[in-house]
Amino acid sequence: MKWVKLVLVAIQLLLSAAIFASGVNEESVLNSNNKVINNNVVTVVDVLDRQVSIELPVERVAFTHYSTAEALKLIDAWSVAVARDGYTNEKVLYPNIDEIPALTPIMGSSYEPNMEVLLEINPDVLILEVIPMPGIEDLINKLEGIIPVIAVKTYDPEKMVQSFEILGKILNKEEEASKYINWCIDIQNYLIDKVSTLKEDELTRIFYKTGYGGVEDLMTFTNELSYIPVRNKLTGCINVAADLDSQGGWVPSLDSEWLVQQEYDVLIIGDPQPNGFGFYKDSIEELDEYRNQVMKLPVFADSTAVKNDRVYMQYESYFGSPSFIIGFAYMAKWFHPQLFSDFDPSSLQKEYFQEFMNVDPIDIENGIFVYPEE
């Protein structure tokens, strides 16, 4: 019987050798079916203070907001995207965007994805941006035990560092994430050093108009949205809508009578302009027409901002995505042109697209992202 034991030992050694030769690390084990199980799991704390455990490597990522698309590209992890939001469509930034299934419509809720498509794709993780809209808790609960969900705020200056560190950790892109974080922090420090010299009566009063792309849409954001106080601080402005009733900082329907009575120096139009902003836009005609229509609305026509022609439009991604810092840079110069007379936001814009988004310089030169620039 001794020879039988020797044979069994030999077989066991051969099996062990085969397993380790195949590249399985020492943390791998055999389950009852003799299948290799990888115990390499990372646990992160997301922006909702949830502990989420993810099995590595993460190779298939789904998301429902355009800010996540940008974040993935920024840390050189776009290749893991297998399902996306319906709004992202810029082919210069995402050449294969049409090949990736959309989970939401162009203007749909981030928290109402097509569940049939999502479950069929079965990603390693679903990334959700926490925005001031209801539904995120319901979606997380619905996917409990089916698909891991991580909540982030890659568009929010206060949560950007945490969010990018999470993505860097689960996607093995920590160095790339740190590079972008540090770049943003350097710009923020420059802006705050400048505007900190302003007195209270030198701050610029502003109104930020947003909507779904309609001239008459009247939506805005209050200071309840954590993004807004940071914007105010870094650009030297006062938000006239700071204390309105809102849904987590979002005002989906603004009282026009209230707005007519407000005094503000600058009007920012953040409405989506897919045919006006972006790469390879050869004319400002559509943007100019939209701007003029907004300025002629009774609710804006008699404002100080319109009378002094201080009405600016910006690429919608410069508000709700990691490129917020470019939007801040332009706004700081619009609000305080003399203070920032030697500052060129377009150079930051070029660096952002070329260095982090891997866009060809020729493509950048043929893009329109703010109007008017000064």
- pLDDT computed for residue 275 by the predictor: 84
280-324 pLDDT, tens digit per residue, is 887 899 999 999 999 999 999 999 999 999 999 999 889 889 999
* CA pair distance 199, 44, nearest whole angstrom: 42
* pLDDT given for residue 7 in this prediction: 35
pLDDT-derived band at 107, boundaries 50, 70, 90: confident
Could you report the per-residue pLDDT of 195-237, keeping only the tens digit for each?
A: 999 999 999 999 999 998 899 999 999 999 989 999 999 999 9
172, 309 contact by CB (below 8 A)? no
pLDDT of residue 374: 83
Annotation: CATH topology of 41-172: Rossmann fold (3.40.50)
Examine the pLDDT at 19 and tell me if it is beyond 60.
no
Report residue 172 as tokens.
């093995």
Residue 132: what pLDDT? Answer: 85
**50 has pLDDT over 60:** yes
Q: pLDDT for 185-200, tens place per residue?
A: 999 999 999 999 999 9
Q: Would you state the pLDDT for residue 20?
A: 31
Per-residue model confidence (pLDDT) at position 351 = 96
Count of residues in the chain: 374
The answer, yes or no, to whether residue 146 has pLDDT greater than 60, is yes
At the second CATH level, the architecture of 197-371 is 3-Layer(aba) Sandwich (3.40)
Question: 167-179 burial by CB neighbour count: b if 16+ within 10 A, else e?
Answer: bbbbbebeebbeb
Span 65-80, mean pLDDT?
Answer: 97
| Residue 147 confidence class, pLDDT cut points 50, 70, 90 | very high
Q: What is the mean pLDDT of the chain?
A: 89
State in Å, rounded, how far the first CA of the chain is from the last one: 91
Burial class (CB in 10 A: 0-12, 13-18, 19+), 283: exposed
Lowest mean pLDDT segment, chosen from 22-36, 74-88, 208-222: 22-36
Distance CA 195, CA 208 (A): 19
How far apart, in whole angstroms, are the C-alpha atoms of residue 253 and residue 218?
6
111 secondary structure, DSSP code? T
Fold match between 41-172 and 197-371? yes
pLDDT at 164 over 70: yes
- The residue type found at 219 is M
Look at residue 15 and tell me whether its pLDDT is greater than 50: no
Asked if residue 254 has pLDDT above 80, the reply is: yes
Domain boundaries, the chain: 41-172, 197-371
pLDDT value at residue 16: 36
Tell me 323's DSSP state. T
